[in-house]
Structure 1
Amino acid sequence: MESLYRKYRPLTFESVVGQQHIVSTLKHAVAEGRLSHAYLFCGPRGTGKTTMARILAKSLLCEGSEAARATGASGCMPDGTCPECEAIAAGTHPDVYELDAASRTGVDNVREEIINSVSFAPVRGAYKVYIIDEVHMLTTAAFNALLKTLEEPPSHVVFVLCTTDPQKILETILSRCQRFDFHRISNEDIVGRLRFICEQEGFAFDEEALEIVARHARGGMRDALSTLEQLSVFGDGSVHVDDARSLLGEVASTVLSEFACKIAVRDTVGLFGLVRVQADEGNDLMELTHDLVAHVRDVYTAAIAGPKTELFDGTPEEVAALVEEARLFEGADRLARALTVLDDAALEMRNASDPRLVLEIALTRLARPETDLTLEALAERLARLEAQLAVGVPSGPMDAAQLAAAAGPH
């Protein structure tokens, strides 16, 4: 059985999702014959860099490409169905060379597969296209060997360099390429594509399950399709929200709201109880912490910007709930500190022998700043004292009962 991400890999410009700024530019370049001899495709994994490189190769070698360009109708190229396009999709076209620089990094590989063959004329088409994936993995010697070819390539050659880390590529290489930055695909676009695939495959699905998959894909369509396939197998042809939460460690938004509210009112005991429930249910506490960081970020945004729905992915009702949560905190500064503490905890949990303890300590620091001697915590305590003085709490010495009443719940 063919995997979903291979089966539904875009074959034409029109089927690409979420990268319209690149699609539009490349289509115009092909239509007008204004091609660069070298392109650099940058972006996170799973956002379509190699797929776009193959589609560009198809648009140059498609059987109808020359006639279409002559008549000004090349906007519909490639058609994705001719023998040339099918050979490129299958990786068997003699004029399209794909080099995986992650496994073939040396100068000898570059000389053998590129430099020694670049001057030969195309076998079947008007162009030869070299696609180098993970190009940042090439050695310095390999880059230098490639540089001369990039400087003065034959007119029939087009290079497409793909990378997730353009900072590692030599400036001399970057300056000779036309650069395109691939964006993380929006959750809305990913959900739309997942919905389409479920309908095509006959999968029963919960809309919320698709939203969970999209969030965890973090802008990568390939990761989203791999997760969807795993869920469909697990659910015997169905994609259910409970299965998605179980597989991905997703925490319900209501639970995250509970955590945020208890942090806001400084309910340490309640926070420990929530952590215990999550641990007893077998949920991944590191994933919980990541989800909590994302949720508190939304609350922080609500505290700064108010109910401006264009800044959020949720419904107007969900945005209104975030605004209400933000009001429970004394201000945006406290939320900013919460984000810092939770993010530090998420990093520390990776190598901790007891991730639960790390999370509990972080929550204690947020609920009881008097236990934390950092400057941020001291600033929060001063802000609380100023707020108490503003509402008439005595500023002079107080006995133990008055101190307890002024401090509020911990």
Structure 2
Amino acid sequence: MESLYRKYRPLTFDSVVGQQHIVSTLEHAITEGRLSHAYLFCGPRGTGKTTMARILAKALLCRNAEAARAEGASGCMPDGTCEECELIAEGNHPDVYELDAASRTGVDNVREEIINSVNFAPVRGKYKIYIIDEVHMLTTAAFNALLKTLEEPPAHVIFVLCTTDPQKILETILSRCQRFDFHRIGNEDIEHRLAYVCEQEGFDYDDEALAIVARHAKGGMRDALSTLEQLSVFGNGSVHADDARSLLGEVSDQILGEFSRAIADRDVAELYGLIRAQVEEGNDLLELTRDLVAHVRDVYVACVARARAELFEGGSEQAEALAAEAAAFGEHPADRLARVLTVLDDAALEMRGASDVRLVLEIACTRLARPEADLTIEALAERVARLEA
């Protein structure tokens, strides 16, 4: 059975989700014949960099698209069905070279697979396209070997470099590429795509489950589709919110609200009881802490932005509930909430390498509930504020 993220990978510009700024620019460049000899696609994983590179290759080599442009038609999108497009989708087109720089990092690999073949004419189409994935993994020597070819390639050659870490690429390489930054895909776009996949696959689903999957994916469509597939197997063809929370370790808003109120009330015993309940249920405390940071962040926004409804998915009802929660933090809730966010975020970072994540979270909650036990400047400022009040 083919994985969902492979089965529903976009095949044309029209089917790309969440990267319209890049799609529009590439379409105009192809239509107007203003192509660059080298492109750099950079952004978080799972946002469509390699997929976009393949679609660009299709748009340049697609027979139907090329014929349409020759006749003066405005569209330049590949149809995805001609022989050229199918060969590219299968990874078998002789004029499209996909290289994984993570496994071919050395100068010999660059010389053997690119430099020695770049001057040969295309076999089937008008262009030869080199797609180099995770290009930041190349060694300095390999980059230097590639530099001359990248600077003055033959007219029939186009390079597409893909990376999640552009900071590691040499400035001399960056200056010779046209750069496109891929954004994290919005939760709403991910939810719509997941709903479409569920309908195509015949999955029984609810909207809350898809919202949980979208939040957990953190802007990556590939991660979202992989999680959806896992959930569909877990639920025997059903995708429901309870299963999503159980599988992903997401905590309900009710539990997060209880944590927030316990911190506001400085109730250490209640906080320890809530943590114990999460442990007994087998939930991931690191995920709990991250969810709690996100929840407190919403409370903070509701506090400082005076509960503006347009800032929240739940509208005015959610904004008012969060504002009421913020009021429980005392006379100067914004300052106290800012400290809560700082302490919890630091705890989440520490928990990633801690041998006892429960202890880290308990200490963080104690610091938040009992500032007299914390000797930081922020804690002392909070104690002074309490005395002044």
Q: How does 1:357-368 map to 2 (within 5 A)?
A: 357-368=359-370
Query: Which residue in 1 is equivalent to 2:379?
Result: 377
Going from structure 1 to structure 2, the CA distance change for 1:164 and 1:313 (only over 3 Å counts) comes to: farther
Q: In structure 2, the residue corresponding to 1:161 is in which secondary structure?
A: strand
Query: Which residue in 2 is equivalent to 1:239?
Result: 239
Question: Quick one: distance in 2 between partners of 1:40 and 1:50?
Answer: 11
TM-score by length of 1: 0.93
Question: Quick one: distance in 2 between partners of 1:55 and 1:196?
Answer: 21
Structure 1 segments of 4+ aligned residues over 6 angstroms from their partners: none
Q: In structure 1, the residue corresponding to 2:225 is in which secondary structure?
A: helix
Query: Which residue in 2 is equivalent to 1:390?
Result: none
Q: How does 1:93-112 map to 2 (within 5 A)?
A: 93-112=93-112
| Corresponding pairs, count | 387
Query: Which residue in 1 is equivalent to 2:356?
Result: 354
Shift of 1:76: 4.5
Question: Quick one: distance in 2 between partners of 1:309 and 1:156?
Answer: 53
Query: Which residue in 2 is equivalent to 1:149?
Result: 149
Equivalent position amino acid for 1:236 in 2: N
Q: How does 1:305-344 map to 2 (within 5 A)?
A: 305-329=305-329, 330-344=332-346
Question: Quick one: distance in 2 between partners of 1:133 and 1:318?
Answer: 42
Q: How does 1:124-273 map to 2 (within 5 A)?
A: 124-273=124-273
Question: Quick one: distance in 2 between partners of 1:50 and 1:309?
Answer: 38
Of 371-380 and 272-281, more deviation after overlay is shown by 272-281
Question: Quick one: distance in 1 between partners of 2:89 and 2:315?
Answer: 39
Shift of 1:142: 0.4
Which is higher, the Rg of structure 1 or of structure 2?
Answer: 1
Q: In structure 2, the residue corresponding to 1:35 is in which secondary structure?
A: coil
Equivalent position amino acid for 2:351 in 1: M
Going from structure 1 to structure 2, the CA distance change for 1:76 and 1:30 (only over 3 Å counts) comes to: closer
Question: Quick one: distance in 2 between partners of 1:215 and 1:235?
Answer: 19
Question: Quick one: distance in 2 between partners of 1:71 and 1:263?
Answer: 68
Question: Quick one: distance in 2 between partners of 1:316 and 1:114?
Answer: 57
Residue 30 of structure 1 contacts residue 74 of structure 1 at CA under 8 Å; is this kept in 2? no
TM-score by length of 2: 0.97
1:25 and 2:37 matched? no
Going from structure 1 to structure 2, the CA distance change for 1:319 and 1:68 (only over 3 Å counts) comes to: same
Stretches of structure 2 that go unaligned for 5 or more consecutive residues are none
Question: Quick one: distance in 1 between partners of 2:247 and 2:131?
Answer: 35
Shift of 1:349: 1.5
Shift of 1:75: 2.3
Shift of 1:74: 4.8
Q: In structure 2, the residue corresponding to 1:64 is in which secondary structure?
A: helix
Shift of 1:225: 0.3
Equivalent position amino acid for 1:94 in 2: P
The CA RMSD measured in Å over matched residues stands at: 1.1
Query: Which residue in 1 is equivalent to 2:65?
Result: 65
Of 318-327 and 172-181, more deviation after overlay is shown by 318-327
Of 70-79 and 237-246, more deviation after overlay is shown by 70-79
Question: Quick one: distance in 1 between partners of 2:178 and 2:124?
Answer: 26
1:136-169 deviation digits (Å, cap 9, x = unpaired): 0000000001100011011111100000000000
Question: Quick one: distance in 2 between partners of 1:99 and 1:308?
Answer: 49
Question: Quick one: distance in 1 between partners of 2:71 and 2:366?
Answer: 70
Equivalent position amino acid for 1:144 in 2: N
Stretches of structure 1 that go unaligned for 5 or more consecutive residues are 388-410
Query: Which residue in 2 is equivalent to 1:408?
Result: none
